[in-house]
Amino acid sequence: MRRFSSYGPINTHLHYYAPRKELIARAFTQLVGENPSEGGHYITVWAPRQTGKTSVMQEILFQLKKDPLFDVLKINLENLKNETDVGTIIGAICEEIGAGLNKTFTGINTQQQFQKIFNRDVLDKPLILILDEFDALAENAINTIVGAFRNIHINRSDEKDKTTEQKTYLLHAVALIGVRSVLGIENEKGSPFNVQRSVHISNLTFEEVEGMFKWYERESGQAVEEEVILALYDEMRGQPGLTCWFGELLTETYNPDPKKPISMSNFDEAYGAATHILPNNNILNLISKVDKPPYDETVIKFFQTDEKTVFNYDDKNLNYLYMNGVIAAEKVGSKEYYVKFSCPFVQKRIFNFFSNRFFSYLGQLIHPLDPMEDAVDEENLYIPNIIKRYQAYLTKNQAVFFKDVPRRKTDMKIYEAIFHFNLFRYLFDLLKKRGVEVIPEFPTGNGKIDLILKYRKNTYALELKSFSDMSDFHRGIEQAADYGRQTGLKEISFVVFVELSPAEVKQLEKVVEKNGVNVTVLPIGIL
C-alpha cells in the first residue's frame, strides 16, 4: 500500500501523488519541440520551494528516455552550492555530463571550453539536458553557464536550414530547475539567458488533493471525511510538501483507529502538533528565511491591516520571499496584484515565530493580588475587562518592552504588527493557565488578523486593527460585524490600537449593533 511522503521527490511506485498530466505534457513538448527535427526550447522550470519541481521533471525525464532520437541527462547541482570558483563548478558539471554519456570531459574550466563539449563532433546525438537546483550555484557561475547556453541557442537558430542532429551544436534543449537568477532578477547586468521559455509549477488544485485522499480510501478501506480534505486544502492551499506532510500525519501518526473515518478531531490533533511540537524542514527553512534582515521587516509589514502590499516580482525582497515559499500573489480585478502569505498555516507559523522572537518574556502581566474575577469566571470570559488589564500593562511597560523592536524608517513609528504580536502573547500567557485557548486567525491571508479565544463551550472573536481616521474606523466596525455574522457569533470585539491621548481614546469606546451582531469597540492607547 502506498504512503504519503514529503521527504524529497515522490516515488510514483510507493507514494500517493497527483499525476499533473497537463503540466507534464506541456513541459515535455517544450523540451522535445513542437517540431522535434528543428530543435526544442531552452526553458526555466520555476516555483517556490517544495512545490514538486523535481518530481515533475523526473516524470518528464522518464518519458524523454523512451525516445531513441535523444540522449537525456538530469544532473543535480545542489552539491555545488558552497563552491564559489566558476572554473571548478564548470569542471564538475562537465564531468557529470561526460559520465552520463560514457565520455571523459576533464580539465574544462572556461565558458568557451564548456560550450565545445556540445559540439556535433563531440556528442553522438541531440542532447536534452536538465539541471536541477541550478539556482544553488554561485551567481558568476550561473551567468557563465547560461551565457554559453545562449550562444549555443543563437548558433542553432542561425542554422534553421539544418535538422537538430545536423547543427553545429547538438544541445537540443535545456531545462534549468529552480531558477531565480536566470530570470534576470538578481543580475544587475540583465539576464544573459533571455532566450528561454518558462514553465511555472503551481500548487495542487483542490481536485488533485482530493484525488490523493480518495486514492488512499480505495487502498486502505478507511474513509476520510470531506470536511477534513476541505480544511487541509484551506490551510495549505495545495502546497505539495505541506499537503503530503499532513497526509502522512492524518493517515499514520494521528490515525489511532484505522477502522474509523479520519475526522476533524484527527485533523485538529495533527494541526496542533504540527503547529507546536513537530519539526518540518519546509517550515524550518521558511523561518530561517524571514529571520534575517531585510526580509524580517519586509514580512512584518505584511501583517499590517490598514492596506495591502502591492506585489512586484522584480522587487528583490518580494522575489526572494516568493521563491522561498513565504508569500504568493493575490490577483484583484483584472490587473492588480497584492502580497499574501502562501497559505494560512505558513502565516500562523510565522506569526507565532515573531511573537516569540520579540516577546518571549513579558514580565508581570497583572498585579499579583488581582483575582481577575471580573475577567474570567467558571463559564465565561469578559473581554473588555481583560483588555483593560492589557492597557494597564502596556502603559506601564511600553517604554521597556518596545525599546528595540523594528520601526518604520520613514517616521520611526513602531510597526503595527508588533502590537499584534504583543497582545497575542499577553493573552496567551495570561489565560493559558485558566484553560483558555488563544488562536490567531488570518481570514484574508494578507494582513487582517483575528484572535479567537475558546473557553468552556464559548468562542470569542477579537478583530484587530490600527486606527487611521474615522472613516476607516467606521468601516472596520462594519467589517467586524460581517465577520461575526460569517462565524455565527452574536458578539465580537473590535480592538483598535490608537495613537491619541487617553481622553481621546476613551471617546472611541462604544457598543454598536449591526444587523444582529453586537460590536464592542475596545480602543488601546499606544502613545
Q: Which of 78-92, 163-177, 293-307 has the lowest mean pLDDT?
A: 293-307
* d(C-alpha 388, C-alpha 393), whole Å: 9
With 90 as the cut, is the pLDDT of residue 251 above it? yes
Residue 50: its pLDDT value, please? 75
pLDDT tens profile 367-390:
999 999 999 999 999 999 999 999
pLDDT at 306: 66
Instruction: Say how far apart CA 471 and CA 481 lie, in whole Å.
Output: 16
Q: Is the pLDDT of residue 364 over 50?
A: yes
Q: pLDDT by residue (tens digit) across 191-236?
A: 445 455 678 888 999 999 999 999 999 999 999 999 999 999 999 9
Higher pLDDT, 520 or 307: 520
3-state secondary structure of 517: strand
pLDDT band at residue 279 using 50, 70 and 90 as cut-offs: confident
Q: Are 390 and 423 in contact (CB under 8 A)?
A: yes
Asked if the model's pLDDT at residue 444 lies above 80, the reply is: no
Q: 161 or 184: whose pLDDT is higher?
A: 161
To the nearest whole number, what is the mean pLDDT of the chain? Answer: 91
Confidence (pLDDT) at 408: 82
Average pLDDT over every residue of 437-443 = 88
Q: Is the pLDDT of residue 184 over 50?
A: no
Taking the C-alpha atoms of residue 41 and residue 30, their distance in angstroms, rounded to an integer, is: 6
pTM of the entire structure?
0.86
What pLDDT, in 10s, does the model give residues 452-490? 999 999 999 999 998 889 998 999 999 899 989 988 999
Look-up of cell digits 502573547: 425
- Residue 446's pLDDT band (cuts 50, 70, 90): low
Distances (CA, A) of 465 to 295, 480, 490, 498: 23, 10, 20, 9
Cα dihedral 19/24/25/26 (nearest 10): 140
CATH code for the domain defined by 21-200 = 3.40.50.300
Integer Cα distance of 519 and 527 in angstroms: 24
pLDDT at 187 over 70: no
Query: Can you give 105-133 as a three-state secondary structure string?
Result: CCCCCCHHHHHHCCECCCCCCCEEEEEEC
Whether omega before 502 lies within 30 degrees of 0, making that bond cis, reads no
Q: Tell me: pLDDT of 174 over 60.
A: yes
* Type of residue numbered 172: H
Task: Give phi and psi for 104, each to the nearest 5.
Answer: -115, 115
Q: What's residue 403's pLDDT?
A: 86
Output the pLDDT for position 185: 42
The mean per-residue pLDDT over the stretch 172-182 comes to 77
Residue-level pLDDT at 369: 95
| Domain locations in the chain as residue ranges | 21-200, 206-278, 351-525
Task: Give per-residue pLDDT as tens, 38-49.
Answer: 888 888 887 777
- Segments of 426-478 assigned E as strands: 437-441, 449-455, 458-466
pLDDT band of 180, cuts 50, 70, 90: low
d(CA 216, CA 262): 11
Q: pLDDT, tens digit, for every residue of 287-334?
A: 999 999 999 999 998 887 667 889 987 888 998 898 888 999 888 888
Distances (CA, A) of 382 to 375, 385, 393, 437: 5, 6, 17, 15
| Beta strand spans in 57-111 (E) | 71-76
How far is residue 340 CA from its own chain's centroid?
A: 9
Structure confidence at residue 52 as a pLDDT band (50, 70, 90): confident
Name the β-bridge partners of 517: 514
Please calculate the CA angle 407-411-417 and round it to the nearest 5 degrees: 35
What mean pLDDT is predicted for residues 228-255?
A: 96
Give the pLDDT of residue 177.
86
